[in-house]
Structure 1
Amino acid sequence: MQGVFDNVHTNTSPDHYAEKAWPVLKDYAPWLVIMPANTLVNMCYVIVGVYWLLATKILVKAQTRMGTAASTDLTGHDVYMMYTFCWISIIYGPIQMARLLMLKHRLAVLDQWYTLPGFAWVLAWALYCLRGWSTATIATVTGLSIVSYCCTLFHPFGFDFALACHILVVVKYCIDVQQQYGTTSSKISFVKALFGCSGFVILKLADNYLPILHPLFNHLSGHFWSKICDALQVYYVAEFFFIITLERTRTKKE
Structure 2
Amino acid sequence: MKPDSHRASIHVLLTACFCIATVYTGLFDNVFTEVGYEYYAEVPIQSFPTFLAMPFNSVVNLGYLLLGCYWLLKNKKVTGNDEDVRQASYLKDVFASMALLYGLVQWVRIWTQTHYSAVLDQWFTLPIFAWSVVWGCYVEDGWQPWLFLCIECISLASYGLTLFFHSGYDITLAFHILASLWSAIHIHGEYGDFVSATYIIFALIFCMGFIILKLADHWLAQWCFFKELTGHFWSKICDIMQFHCAFLFLTHFDSRQTCIAEEKNF
Same-fold status (TM-score > 0.5): yes
Is this contact kept in 2: 1:182–1:247, CA < 8 A?
A: no
130, 143, 161: which is aligned to 2:153? 143
Match status 1:126 vs 2:149: no
1:113 to 95, 116, 123: 123
Q: CA deviation at 1:154?
A: 1.2
Task: Indicate how the Cα distance of structure 1 residues 33 and 90 shifts in structure 2: closer, same or farther if over 3 A, else same.
Answer: closer
2:228 aligned with 1:219, yes or no? yes
Change (3 A) 1:142 1:247: closer
- SS, match of residue 75 in structure 1: helix
State the Cα RMSD in Å: 2.1
Maintained 8 Å contact 1:71/1:250: no
Residues 97-130 of structure 1 show CA distances to partners (whole Å, capped at 9, x for unaligned) of 0011000100110111111001100111111111
CA distance in 2, matches of 1:82, 1:33: 31
Distance in 2 separating the partners of 1:224 and 1:189: 23
Separation in 2, partners of 1:9, 1:38: 21
Match of 2:261 in 1: 252
CA deviation after TM superposition for structure 1 residue 33, in Å? 4.9
| C-alpha distance in 2 between matches for 1:72 and 1:136 | 22
1:48 counterpart = 2:71: no
Residues 30-68 of structure 1: per-residue CA shift (max 9 Å, x gap): 22453111111011111111112222x2x35xx7xxxxx
Determine the structure 1 residue equivalent to 2:185. Answer: 175
Match of 2:175 among 140, 149, 165: 165
Gaps of 5+ in 1: 64-69
Q: Matches of residues 14-29 of structure 1 in structure 2 within 5 Å?
A: 14-22=37-45, 26=47, 29=48
Q: How far 1:250 sits from its partner (Å)?
A: 5.8
Q: Distance in 1 between matches of 2:35 and 2:67?
A: 27
Displacement after TM superposition at 1:3 (Å): 0.3
Q: Which residue of 1 aligns with 2:104?
A: 94
For the structure 1 residues 178 and 72, does the alpha-carbon distance in structure 2 shift closer, same or farther, using more than 3 Å as the test? farther
Judged with a 3 Å threshold, the aligned counterparts in structure 2 of structure 1 residues 15 and 244 are, in CA distance, closer, same or farther, namely same
- Number of residue equivalences: 239
1:84 partner letter: V
Distance 1:6 1:252, change over 3 A: same
TM-score by length of 2: 0.84
TM-score by length of 1: 0.87
Give the Cα separation in 2 of the matches to 1:223 and 1:250. 38
The equivalences for 1:6-17 within 5 A come to 6-17=29-40
Identity of aligned residues (%): 37
> Could you tell me how far apart the structure 1 residues matched to 2:213 and 2:190 are?
32
Distance 1:85 1:174, change over 3 A: same
Conserved 8 A contact 1:72-1:249: no
Alpha-carbon distance change, 181 to 72 in structure 1, aligned in 2, over 3 angstroms: farther
Contact 1:41 1:228 in 2 (8 A): yes
Matched letter for residue 155 of structure 1: F
Identify unmatched segments of 5+ residues in structure 2.
Answer: 1-23
Cα deviation per residue 1:188-227 (whole Å; 9 max; x = unaligned)?
Answer: 1121111111111111111111012x13323211110000
